[in-house]
């Protein structure tokens, strides 16, 4: 990338950063900042004696927010049928994954998470398949292979 293009991109990212956004090229996975910091969150949960899910609800949301969201999905009938395979886009810390996996006991559960630390942790902790999150496709998931797809996209600003 030329010096002018880099300078323009940096300037644009400075402006976008005020609204919580960042301009990255496809494949620049390391440039994407984690919404919820991995190490700080795990350490905070450990020190507080809480699960990661409960710690995040307490620190960033309102206690019980995650379960309340899942309860709304249950109330809407989302989980009435057995789900053999689930794919989640942007699972972050896995706070929804943990509950949905326990409720549905799917044969396979795939995640596309851009933060490599969270992605690796989810694969180790919940025995899910972490797919390459390139930001443009779900190319590692076979067409027609997923029974339930969950995505969470957050548009927020960090003040």
Domains of the chain, first to last: 1-33 (no CATH), 34-151 (3.40.50.150)
Residue 15 has pLDDT above 90, yes or no: no
pLDDT tens, position by position, 108-131: 999 999 889 999 999 999 999 999
Q: How far apart are CA 53 and CA 138, in angstroms?
A: 26
Provide the whole-model pTM.
0.71
**Contact predicate 83/42, CB 8 Å:** no
For residue 156, pLDDT beyond 50: no
CA dist., res. 153 & res. 159, Å (int): 19
């Amino acid at each position: 990338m030329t010096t002018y293009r880099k300078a323009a991109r940096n300037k644009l990212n400075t402006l976008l950063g005020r609204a919580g956004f960042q301009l990255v090229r496809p494949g620049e996975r390391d440039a994407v900042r984690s919404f919820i910091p991995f190490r700080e969150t795990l350490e905070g949960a450990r020190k507080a004696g809480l699960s990661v899910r409960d710690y995040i609800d307490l620190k960033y949301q309102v206690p019980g927010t995650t379960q309340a969201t899942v309860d709304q999905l249950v109330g809407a009938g989302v989980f009435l049928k057995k789900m053999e395979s689930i794919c989640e886009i942007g699972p972050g810390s896995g706070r929804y994954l943990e509950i949905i996996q326990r409720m549905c006991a799917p044969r396979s559960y795939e995640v596309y998470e851009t933060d490599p630390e969270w992605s690796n942790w989810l694969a180790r902790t919940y025995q899910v398949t972490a797919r390459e999150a390139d930001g443009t496709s779900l190319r590692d998931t076979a067409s027609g292979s997923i029974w339930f797809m969950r995505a969470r996209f957050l548009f927020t600003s960090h003040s």
